[in-house]
């Protein structure tokens, strides 16, 4: 019995010594990192010395971060013929860079999966994607199933119609065919308007934004109701932009944010840190001008959508509040 007890004590001393040695080596690595990477060092050391949880652990263990991207949410997240680009896609990649620093994994792989308004949340909840920064509206209802970052864009919900259609506001849609995108907050607003105002609109919910705009162009609908910057994007990139007009008293004001899994405070802190630094440093305004007031790929179209006072105020005071 005494021999066994001495062996156990010896084992504990050896294990303790090994653990202390490992912590010493880890501390030395962190000290070296502090000398070479400055601001990123504290986050990187924290990730190395503390046990990872949630999304950061998943990404670390898998060796890949999976982004949900959009195919036609111009100019936020869209395919330009070569890859995914856009205003919010740039924000997503800035977050990826911070993840690489935090995990100390500069060669971390990035995998993109195209999502739609209908499947983006299920794919997040099923761990098929880790982060989605496209054109997803932060609503109070969606907080029940997902978490949202600080907002990166505020906008009005309006519609696009043919200029010669005589459609100028939402009452003009009474009894007519109207299209929106399935699974969006706009669909909910439009259907509520239809019920509350007894407009008897024939509402079609398209699979994605591109399909919805095609329905308008093919005269299957007189208007496409969607986020104002999205419809401006379709108007600007259409071969005949002057055939269309963005119109209507706003149905409401909403905000876009990045979406990730609930209950993951370390990941929320990382994501919000990236967005807050960008907005308060002036980087977000520069990025906005790049995608909304200058020619964008692939055809060099300029949306001519200047920074609104609402977005200027958002950049000055970053927050994660839903507006509905």
Question: Model confidence over 295-324: pLDDT tens digits?
Answer: 999 999 999 899 999 999 999 999 999 998
Residue that is last in its domain, among 254, 279, 305: 254
**pLDDT: which is higher, 324 or 54:** 54
Domain contains 321: no
The verdict on residue 2 lying in a domain is no
Percent of the chain residues past pLDDT 90, beyond the cut: 83
Do 146 and 163 have their domain in common?
no
| 262 and 145 within one domain | yes
Residue 125 has pLDDT above 50, yes or no: yes
Q: Are 177 and 223 in contact (CB under 8 A)?
A: no
* One domain for residues 61 and 133: yes
Of 284, 189, 278, 270, the closest CA to residue 227 belongs to 189
Residue 2 pLDDT more than 70?
A: no
Does 94 map to a domain?
A: yes
Cβ neighbour number for residue 176 with a 10 Å cutoff: 17
133 lies in the same domain as 266: yes
Band (pLDDT 50/70/90 cuts) for residue 175 is: very high
Q: Mean pLDDT across the stretch 268-293?
A: 98
Residue 4 domain-assigned (yes or no): no
Does position 1 have pLDDT exceeding 80, yes or no? no
Q: What is the pLDDT of residue 272?
A: 98
Q: With respect to residue 324, please indicate whether it lies within any of the assigned structural domains.
A: no
Instruction: For residues 104 and 126, state if they share a domain.
Output: yes
pTM: 0.79
Let me know whether 27 and 94 are in one domain.
no
Is 27 a domain residue?
Answer: yes
pLDDT at 43: 54
Domains identified in the chain, total number: 3
Q: Both 303 and 184 in a single domain?
A: no
Phi and psi at residue 82, to the nearest 5°: -120, -35
Show the CA angle centred on residue 133, arms to residues 116 and 96, nearest 5°.
130
Average pLDDT, the chain: 88
DSSP-assigned letters across all residues of 7-70? HHHHHHHHHHHHHHHHHHHHHHHHHHHHHHHTTHHHHHHHHHHSPP-HHHHHHHHHTEEEEEE-
Q: Both 57 and 124 in a single domain?
A: yes
Out of 233, 254, 275, a domain closes at 254
Least confident of 39-53, 72-86, 94-108: 39-53
Q: Which residue has the higher pLDDT, 88 or 14?
A: 88
The whole-number pLDDT of residue 51 equals 86
In a domain, 111, yes or no: yes
Find where tokens 């308007």 sit.
193
Looking at the structure, tell me whether residues 128 and 165 fall in a common domain.
no
What pLDDT score was predicted for residue 253?
A: 94
**Residue 267 above 70 pLDDT?**
yes
Stretch 148-172: mean pLDDT: 97
If one compares 13 and 271, the residue with the highest pLDDT of the two is 271
Range of the domain at 291: 53-152+257-316
Predicted pLDDT of residue 48: 55
Same domain, 310 and 220: no
Poorest-pLDDT segment among 37-51, 104-118, 251-265, 309-323: 37-51
Give yes or no: residues 146 and 261 share one domain. Answer: yes
What average pLDDT does the segment 146-161 reach? Answer: 97
Q: What is the pLDDT of residues 97-118, one digit of tens each?
A: 999 999 999 999 999 999 999 9
> What CATH number corresponds to the domain at position 237?
3.40.190.10
pLDDT digits (tens, 9 = 90+) for 217-240: 999 999 999 999 999 999 998 999
């Amino acid at each position: 019995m005494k021999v066994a007890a001495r062996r156990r004590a010896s084992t504990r001393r050896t294990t303790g010594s090994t653990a202390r040695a490992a912590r010493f080596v880890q501390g030395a690595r962190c000290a070296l990192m502090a000398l070479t990477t400055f601001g990123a060092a504290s986050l990187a050391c924290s990730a190395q010395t503390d046990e990872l949880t949630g999304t950061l652990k998943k990404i670390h263990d898998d060796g890949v971060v999976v982004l949900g991207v959009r195919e036609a949410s111009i100019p936020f997240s869209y395919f330009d013929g070569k890859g995914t680009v856009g205003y919010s896609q740039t924000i997503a990649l800035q977050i990826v860079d911070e993840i690489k620093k935090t995990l100390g994994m500069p060669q971390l792989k990035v995998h993109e999966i195209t999502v739609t308004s209908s499947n983006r949340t299920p794919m997040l909840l099923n761990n098929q994607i880790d982060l989605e920064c496209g054109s997803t509206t932060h609503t109070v209802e969606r907080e029940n199933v997902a978490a949202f970052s600080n907002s990166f864009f505020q906008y009005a919900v309006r519609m696009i119609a043919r200029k010669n259609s005589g459609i100028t506001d939402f009452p003009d849609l009474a009894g007519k065919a109207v299209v929106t995108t399935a699974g969006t907050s706009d669909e909910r607003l439009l259907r509520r308007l239809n019920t509350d105002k007894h407009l008897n609109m024939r509402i079609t919910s398209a699979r994605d934004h591109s399909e919805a705009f095609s329905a308008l162009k093919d005269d299957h609908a007189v208007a496409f109701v969607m986020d104002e910057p999205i419809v401006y994007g379709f108007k600007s990139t259409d071969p005949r932009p002057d055939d269309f007009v963005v119109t209507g008293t706003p149905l409401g004001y909403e905000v876009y944010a990045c979406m990730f899994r609930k209950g993951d405070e370390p990941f929320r802190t990382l994501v919000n840190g990236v967005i807050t630094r960008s907005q308060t440093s002036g980087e977000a305004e520069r990025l906005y001008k790049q995608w909304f007031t200058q020619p964008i790929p692939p055809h060099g179209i300029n949306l001519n959508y200047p920074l609104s006072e609402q977005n200027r105020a958002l950049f000055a005071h970053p927050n994660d509040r839903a507006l509905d």
